[in-house]
Structure formats: structure tokens, C-alpha cells
Chain A
Amino acid sequence: MQMTGDETAPQKALVEFREIGKTYPNGTVALRNVSFQVIEGDILAVCGENGAGKSTLMKILAGIEQPTQGTIHYEGRQKRIADPNVAGDMGIGMVHQHFSLIRSLSVAENLALGQEPRRGLLIDRRAAADRVRELAQKFSLDVDPETKVGSLSVAAQQKVEILKALSRNTRLLILDEPSAVLTPQETQELFEQLRSLRARGVTIIFISHKLHEVRALANRITVIRSGEVVEDGVLSEMSDAAISKLVMGVDVTRASRNQRDLSAATPVVVVKKATVATGDSDRRIDAIDLTIRAGEILGIAGVDGSGQEGVVDLLCGNVQPDEGDISLLGRPMALATTLDWRRAGMAHLPGDRFQIGGAPHMSLVDNVMAGSHRDKQFTRGPFLRVDAMVARTNELIKTFNVRCLGPREPLNSLSGGNAQKLVAAREFSSNPKFLIVNQPTRGIDVAAAAMIHGELLRLSQNGTAILLVTSDLDELLQLSDRVAVMFDGRIAVVLENDGLTPERLGPYMLGLEKAS
């Protein structure tokens, strides 16, 4: 372990981990000899792969889990953080990746939960609301205390979570992958808020997979790999390559695309003047023209809600166009249902792996085989050949490197990245002629993302036409042969990706420029 510090600034350790170890009863070692300091007033990024142990460490600090070894020192004194209440009293607040808010209660009620202001036997609602306003003003996080949490956007819910974490004189705020559920714009706003919190003297620890976010926000970084601290230091002294090498343990070979000329390749999907004027306003599309050729990856860029979801709905058969034509390999598809699309060779990796892409409570076998459960290979008459299904599932688990206990585990026992790999395994293994991928790597770790990128490029080399919808511009520009930028339900421009930059796309995404 190497300790590098910013020698010029006066430093005081707010938290010090001393040889923290955590072994679960089943023998899994989550953390081993973890020692480092959290400097007061810093924004510390904790990086590492899924399952590296960073969340466990943060849960120990927040009192949710207990270490099996080692001690935590807070403001120089050894402390035992027996439960989250103790952590709260000490001034430690944590914002979890999955929100712990009650949707049917108002913001004020959620914040008051567990520490309700009372008037006699009753809860003093006005005092609760006033407290929220006061807090919101103090930290300039703008929320209305009376609104029901369920009716708030994800970004606003996160603000409420942060307020909740800050509500007890919090000096140390822990955020577990705060940007995983946010759009890039919302992430920018969140980062502004976190910076202003820091200016108010709150120390921040945040867990992230995304290097550019770490760079944008943090000043220190701690890298955890397989339960051990492999790096701890000042961020500006480290290169991206060095960090990703530390996170992964090896150099990440970023899958990269070869520049190809695909203008002669067969058009697989052709969309002509397709319009969908009904449904949610951010899913409407207006006179879309698109051609995706065999072996081509067509990326769709745009500010969220510019109609990308509408194009996905249209091309997977969720909706039929009110006007216009679609064809897949020359076959008319304007009236096709999802089943027709699938039969014609479409596959689809959806944006939400637990709601749309899979059934969280069903087994991995069921999740992988769903869709091919009528194939001759896996049936005998009306019956399923369970042995063949399990064998196939094991095979896919192996090829796609899905970390799990076995094929009979439910899908929701997997981490986000592994669940995504499993859903991708199902969709990619059907040898699709046309593949839709929607936010393929949102919220998953670098290694899983690299694996999915590699698979996408391999499929495109084998002639699959791919539609890539993503709000991650790096990903978009890394993979796409051409980029269509959408604005307000229309395609603003289609650009060849010969060295495209985000700056080039920006004006089209914001509707400032249109193709002439």
C-alpha cells in the first residue's frame, strides 16, 4: 500500500479503517486487512469491480454490517458502530443504490420516519414539514415536503434520500453508485450539489464504476480489489489507465471497432417516415427514416426522452406506426407484433433487466430459456426437457462469465452486472439478424461492460445489424459505425463515425442544429 497525500493542506483523518476484515458465515471473505483514512473535507471515490467489497466496507461504516476483524476510528477515537442509529448519531449518513423510501408517504413523512416530531400522542406534521424546508434550504436541495415520494422523478427521489442522510447533523455522507439511476444531465446536477455540500464541510465518500465521474468529482481515490485495498491516493496523480489496471487487476483491453465501409452491405432494417403520435409524449416519434445494414452498429444519441424509446418500441413490435413503413430483410413489418419480429430474427436487450428483460423471482434456467422454451431441442411434446435446459443454461453462464451459485438460483440473487450478462446471453445467443440494445451497460461494472461491448462487436462482425441506444456517449462513439442524433421525436442528423466527438453531437442533441 502506498500513501500519497497532498502535503500542503492541513489534514485530519475523519475516519480511519484499521485492518478491517469481514468473513461471512458461509466462508466468503469480503474484506481482508483493509486500512486507510478518510480525510475530513475530501470527496473520496471508492472504486472497484462488482463484488470487490466496496459496498460491504461502506455498510460496515454505516453500521449495517459488523466487521469480523479490525477497528474503526472516528475523529481519532475507536468506535463500535453497532447499528445504523449509532452511525446516525455519529454523523454518518448513507444513500443506498436502491432507495429506501416509502413511495406512498410524503417527503416530510419519509424524512421524519423514526424521529417523528410529536405533539402529545400525534405526529406534528407541520413541524416535520418545516424541518424538511429548513434542511432543504440549508443544503440548497430543492424539494417540496408535501409531495408523495412515488410521484417524484428518480433524480428527485435521490435528493430526498440525500436529505434524509443529511438530516441528523451529518458530517460524512456515503453514496453508493449515486449516478447509476440518473441520466447524464441529472448526474451533472447531483455533482454540483455534492460539491456545494463539500463546501459546507461535509466529507463525502462515493462509490462509482465510472472513471470520468470519479475524475469530475473526487480528489482522492481508494481502489479495492478482491477485498483488499490496492491503491489509496490523490486522484490527480493517477492516470485513467493506471486506475483501470488497478480496478481490474489487468489491463482492460477496450473493445474497439474497425473502421469499415458498410455502404454496400444489405440493408436489414429500413424505416420510412414512421410516425407514432399516441402514447407517452417522450415515446412519440415523428417521420423517422432509418436504415441499418448487415454488420452495422447504428448508435442513437439524444437527450433522454427525445424519442429513443419510441424507436425501440417501434422496432421490437411494442407499438405499430400510425404512418410510414418498416421492413426487416425486405419483409413488411409495419403491422408486426413482438412475436413476428422475434420470428423474423429480432433480439432485444432492454434497458431494464429486472422489469422487462427478466423475471427477478424466477430461476436462471427459466430466465435464459424463456423465448426458446418451444424449440424442439428443449421439448418433448408439451413437456420441457429440463436436463437439456439446465445444460444449455450452464453453457451460457460459462461463455458469458455470469457469476452465480448455480442455474437454479433466482435472477434477483445476481448483481446487476451479472443479471445483465445473463439477459444478454439469452438475447445474443439466438443468432439474431437484428439486435436492439438499450442502455446495455447502465449501472454495471467495467469488466461486465467490456464483455458486453466485445460481444456486440463480435455479432456485428458476423453480420448482425445492431441498433444501439445509450446515454453514455463514450460507449456510443466507441461502438457505433454511424450515429443518429434524435431531438424532439425526430432524427436531427445521421453522422458517419469517423472520429466523431461528443462536442460534435452536442448542438444536434440540444436542437440547436439540424442536418441541412
Chain B
Amino acid sequence: MIRSAFASTAITVGFCLFVLLVVLVPVALLYPEPGEVLSRFLLGPFEKTRYMGNIVELATPSMLTALAVVLMFRCGAFNLGVEGSFFLGGLTTAAMVLWMPLPPLVGIPLALLAGAIVGSLVCGIPGIVKATTGASELVSSLMLNYAAVFIGLFVLNYYLRDPTAAMLSSDRFPAEYRFESLIPRTRIHIGSIVAVVACIIGAIYLNRTSQGLEVRISGTGNDFSRHLGLNSVALNIRIQVIGGMIAAFAGGIEMLGLYSRFTWQNTTGNGWTGVIVAIIARDNPILIIPAALFIGYLQVGGDLVSRAFGVPTEIVSLIQALVMICVTSVAIFQHPALRKFVQGNRGEAAQ
């Protein structure tokens, strides 16, 4: 089993490299100095501390959203509410910071907790609706993302807006609430450490606790957990609420780590990146860490060639999309829950 996990990791790494070259080489050839474009994309992100810092900054929120996605997928819930949870989590944390006159040592945890609770609704409600009415959590969570954005914009516009600012944004956060940079010349903040630790805790939870075992059993399909007498309905709801909390918490951390005001006017895409990372990590919490860093690295590399040579940043999306296709096409054949979902209902055995 350990060997097979290693093999699938090796396959994934192979796919990533393969796709990277298949996309990059032809694109680079369109430019007068193809070698420069390639090396800028591939090696550029490691040239400066600042660029490497950018990789970590980009990877931080997606590690947490990916962890949320992995937990829910492993439990058999195809909930895509992370995007909305992230947005509402960021908004609520911002609002708490602005409205609550508390010392940061108390205020920051409280603001993050409030963000987590409010944001968890976007993942939690589809879970409850699924349990009570049978409506697909995939559809209802996707739709609820939009509701979350419009509720957020309403609150921003009518309650948080700084009337003196030229754009739609909240007041400035008090300086003492913002996370300090841990490494000079980067904006790496405490959230990165939190994210890595969270992934490790996630792995321990799934593999080394009684409830984690129930989550994994529940994710393999209802028949086995029903046979054992597990209450997988309650567990499913619980995991979706926890997943929503983690994603919303990530939104709060992002807000306090990288922003001075709340300026989001749409979902940020960190949730979607989390889904991509979760799929590349093959639903393994530990592998989320390298997968998120890889996606961050692609984004930084794409940014660099875009600035230096005018290469469209869409090639990063193209690479991501192709990596996704390769990885999921394998995953569909291997992942029982995903296969079950794709086939609609109980498919035949793997052989």
C-alpha cells in the first residue's frame, strides 16, 4: 500500500513535468529567445527571495482550502462551497477586526473564529440539505457560492464601506491586527505555518483517529458504513461543516496576512485552486503541501514571463488544466468515491 502510494505520487510528478514541457516549449518557441522564456519560467521563481516568498504566499490559502476539500471528498461529499466559505470567512474576519475594540491577542483569534463559523454555512447548508432532502451537495454548494458573494457585497457596501476611499473597500484594519512578515523581503506570515500544521493534523485525523477511519469508510460508499451501523449522514454533515470552517478560516488568515482593507468584490479563486491542489494531491493531506507549492510556483513563473516577455498568463491556467485532466483521468479509475460519483450510482466492481 505504501508502495502504491509512492507509485501514484511518482506518476503525478511525472504528469506535472510532462505537461509543463508540452505546454511551455511550443509557447516559448513563439518568442525570439525561447531559451530565455523557458529558464525564466522554470528557474526564475527561485532567483530571488521575494519570488520564493510569493510561492509560499500563494500556496498558503490553497493549502487550507485544499485540506477542506480533501476532508469532504474523503467522506464522500462533493462539496464545492469552499470558494464561498473562503469569501465569507475573509469578510467576517474583516468586519470583526473593524468593529471589535479588543486587544489583538484576543481579538485576532476571535475574529478568525467568527469568520470560520459564518463561512462554514456555505459548506454546511448543502450538507444538511443533502441529508434531509437528498439534493446534490455539488449543485447546491456551487449555487450557494454566489449567494455568499452577494451577501458579502451587500454587507461591504452598506456597513463596511469606507466612504472616503476611491474604490469599494472597507476601512483600514488597525495595524496591530495585521500579521507580521516572518522573513524579511517576503510577506510570508504566520498563516503559512498554520497551513502546514493543519495539513499534518489533517493527515493524523484521517489516518490515526477513530473518527478519521469512519470518514474514510463513509467515503467508500454507503453500503459498507450502513453494514457496520455507522451514522454516516451525521458524519457527512459534520465533515462539511468542518471543511467550511477550515476554508473560511483560510479566508480570514489571508485577509489579515496580506491585506490592509477588505477589497474583494468577487470570489478570489482560492477555493478553486484548493480543489485543483486536492486533486493533484490525490486526496492525501500531506501531499497537499507540495501540490500547493507547485501550483504557487506555476503562478509565479507565469507571472514572471508575462512581465518580462509579454507571454499571456493564461498559459498557467492551461498548464493547470492539463495537469488536472491527466491527474483526474487516472484518479477516476482509482478513486472509488469519485468513480461512483462519475458513474452516477453504484457501478460495477473495479475489475
User: Is there a chain B Cβ closer than 8 Å to A282's Cβ?
Assistant: no
CB atoms of A103 and B220 under 8 A apart: no
CB-CB < 8 A to A497: which residues of B? none
User: Is there a chain B Cβ closer than 8 Å to A155's Cβ?
Assistant: no
Complex: chain B residue closest to A339, CB-CB: B229
User: Is there a chain B Cβ closer than 8 Å to A130's Cβ?
Assistant: no
User: Is there a chain A Cβ closer than 8 Å to B164's Cβ?
Assistant: no
Secondary structure dominating the interface of B: helix
User: Is there a chain B Cβ closer than 8 Å to A91's Cβ?
Assistant: no
CB atoms of A355 and B214 under 8 A apart: no
User: B147 to chain A: closest CB distance in Å?
Assistant: 35
A492 to B132, CA, bound (A): 39
CB-CB < 8 A to B212: which residues of A? 384
**CB-CB contacts below 8 Å: B304-351 with A:** 334, 336, 346-351
User: Is there a chain A Cβ closer than 8 Å to B209's Cβ?
Assistant: yes
Kindly supply a per-residue 1/0 record for chain B positions 1-18, scoring 1 wherever the CB is within 8 Å of any chain A CB and 0 otherwise: 110100000000000000
Q: Which of A341, A356, A410 has the most chain B CB within a 10 Å cutoff?
A: A356
CB atoms of A366 and B210 under 8 A apart: no
Q: A383 touches which one: B208, B228, B230 (CB < 8 A)? A: B208
CB atoms of B209 and A383 under 8 A apart: yes
A238 to B251, CA, bound (A): 76
User: B238 to chain A: closest CB distance in Å?
Assistant: 14
CB atoms of B229 and A362 under 8 A apart: no
Kindly supply a per-residue 1/0 record for chain B positions 148-160, scoring 1 wherever the CB is within 8 Å of any chain A CB and 0 otherwise: 0000000000000
User: Is there a chain A Cβ closer than 8 Å to B221's Cβ?
Assistant: yes
CB atoms of A359 and B217 under 8 A apart: yes
The size class of the interface chain A forms with chain B is 35 or more
User: B265 to chain A: closest CB distance in Å?
Assistant: 41
CB atoms of B220 and A369 under 8 A apart: no
User: Is there a chain A Cβ closer than 8 Å to B231's Cβ?
Assistant: yes
CB-CB < 8 A to A331: which residues of B? none
User: Is there a chain B Cβ closer than 8 Å to A283's Cβ?
Assistant: no
**Provided the pairs A348-B227, A371-B228, A408-B2 are in contact, do residues A98 and B351 lie with their beta carbons within 8 angstroms?**
yes
**CB-CB contacts below 8 Å: A385-424 with B:** 386, 408-410, 412
CB atoms of B227 and A382 under 8 A apart: no
Complex: chain B residue closest to A381, CB-CB: B209
**Provided the pairs A354-B349, A361-B336, A366-B216 are in contact, do residues A374 and B210 lie with their beta carbons within 8 angstroms?**
yes
A359 to B76, CA, bound (A): 13
Please count the residue pairs between chain A and chain B whose beta carbons lie under 8 angstroms apart in the complex: 87
Q: A355 touches which one: B2, B223, B230 (CB < 8 A)? A: B223
**CB-CB contacts below 8 Å: A322-349 with B:** 337-342, 348
**CB-CB contacts below 8 Å: B1-47 with A:** 1-2, 4
CB atoms of A373 and B214 under 8 A apart: yes
CB atoms of B349 and A384 under 8 A apart: no
Q: B230 touches which one: A339, A340, A379 (CB < 8 A)? A: A339
CB atoms of A339 and B231 under 8 A apart: yes
A164 to B209, CA, bound (A): 48
CB atoms of A382 and B211 under 8 A apart: yes
CB atoms of B349 and A355 under 8 A apart: yes
Q: B213 touches which one: A341, A360, A370, A410 (CB < 8 A)? A: A370
Complex: chain A residue closest to B231, CB-CB: A339
A139 to B152, CA, bound (A): 68
User: Is there a chain A Cβ closer than 8 Å to B99's Cβ?
Assistant: no
Secondary structure dominating the interface of A: loop
**Provided the pairs A98-B351, A338-B226, A356-B227 are in contact, do residues A408 and B1 lie with their beta carbons within 8 angstroms?**
yes
Kindly supply a per-residue 1/0 record for chain A positions 86-106, scoring 1 wherever the CB is within 8 Å of any chain B CB and 0 otherwise: 000000000000110001000
CB-CB < 8 A to A361: which residues of B? 220, 334, 336
User: Is there a chain A Cβ closer than 8 Å to B224's Cβ?
Assistant: yes
CB atoms of A355 and B346 under 8 A apart: yes
**Provided the pairs A355-B346, A360-B349 are in contact, do residues A373 and B1 lie with their beta carbons within 8 angstroms?**
no
User: B204 to chain A: closest CB distance in Å?
Assistant: 8
Complex: chain B residue closest to A356, CB-CB: B223
CB-CB < 8 A to B224: which residues of A? 355-359, 370
**Provided the pairs A383-B208, A412-B350 are in contact, do residues A341 and B336 lie with their beta carbons within 8 angstroms?**
no
CB-CB < 8 A to A369: which residues of B? 213
CB-CB < 8 A to A316: which residues of B? 227
Residues of chain B at interface, number, CB under 8 A: 30
CB-CB < 8 A to B209: which residues of A? 382-384
User: Is there a chain B Cβ closer than 8 Å to A317's Cβ?
Assistant: yes
CB atoms of B217 and A362 under 8 A apart: yes
A72 to B214, CA, bound (A): 51
Q: Which of A355, A356, A361 has the most chain B CB within a 10 Å cutoff?
A: A361
CB atoms of B351 and A342 under 8 A apart: no
CB-CB < 8 A to B334: which residues of A? 361
**CB-CB contacts below 8 Å: A362-378 with B:** 362-363, 366, 369-371, 373-374
**Provided the pairs A359-B217, A408-B2, A409-B1 are in contact, do residues A370 and B228 lie with their beta carbons within 8 angstroms?**
yes
CB-CB < 8 A to B216: which residues of A? 359, 362, 366
User: A182 to chain B: closest CB distance in Å?
Assistant: 16
Complex: chain B residue closest to A409, CB-CB: B1
A318 to B222, CA, bound (A): 12
CB-CB < 8 A to B226: which residues of A? 318, 338, 356
Complex: chain A residue closest to B214, CB-CB: A373
User: Is there a chain B Cβ closer than 8 Å to A350's Cβ?
Assistant: yes
User: B28 to chain A: closest CB distance in Å?
Assistant: 36
Q: B210 touches which one: A338, A360, A373 (CB < 8 A)? A: A373
CB atoms of B210 and A410 under 8 A apart: no
User: A26 to chain B: closest CB distance in Å?
Assistant: 12
A153 to B1, CA, bound (A): 34
Complex: chain B residue closest to A99, CB-CB: B348
User: B301 to chain A: closest CB distance in Å?
Assistant: 35
CB-CB < 8 A to B231: which residues of A? 339
CB atoms of A341 and B351 under 8 A apart: no
User: A305 to chain B: closest CB distance in Å?
Assistant: 18
User: B156 to chain A: closest CB distance in Å?
Assistant: 39
User: B279 to chain A: closest CB distance in Å?
Assistant: 17
User: B89 to chain A: closest CB distance in Å?
Assistant: 26
User: B341 to chain A: closest CB distance in Å?
Assistant: 15
CB-CB < 8 A to B221: which residues of A? 355, 359
CB-CB < 8 A to B210: which residues of A? 373-374, 379, 382-384
A341 to B229, CA, bound (A): 8
Complex: chain A residue closest to B228, CB-CB: A371
Complex: chain A residue closest to B230, CB-CB: A339
Complex: chain A residue closest to B1, CB-CB: A408
Kindly supply a per-residue 1/0 record for chain B positions 69-105, scoring 1 wherever the CB is within 8 Å of any chain A CB and 0 otherwise: 0000000000000000000000000000000000000
A339 to B225, CA, bound (A): 10
User: A364 to chain B: closest CB distance in Å?
Assistant: 9
User: A320 to chain B: closest CB distance in Å?
Assistant: 14
CB-CB < 8 A to B217: which residues of A? 359, 362, 366, 370
Interchain residue pairs with CB less than 8 A apart (28): A103-B348, A338-B229, A339-B229, A339-B230, A339-B231, A340-B229, A342-B228, A352-B223, A355-B221, A355-B223, A355-B349, A356-B226, A359-B221, A359-B224, A360-B350, A361-B220, A361-B334, A362-B217, A362-B220, A366-B213, A366-B216, A373-B214, A379-B210, A383-B208, A384-B213, A409-B1, A412-B349, A412-B350
The 3 closest A-B pairs by CB, nearest first: A339-B229, A338-B229, A359-B220
Q: A338-B226, A371-B229, A410-B4 are in contact. List 14 more A-B contacts (CB 8 A).
A: A318-B226, A340-B229, A342-B228, A356-B224, A357-B227, A359-B224, A366-B213, A366-B217, A371-B228, A379-B210, A382-B209, A383-B210, A386-B208, A412-B350
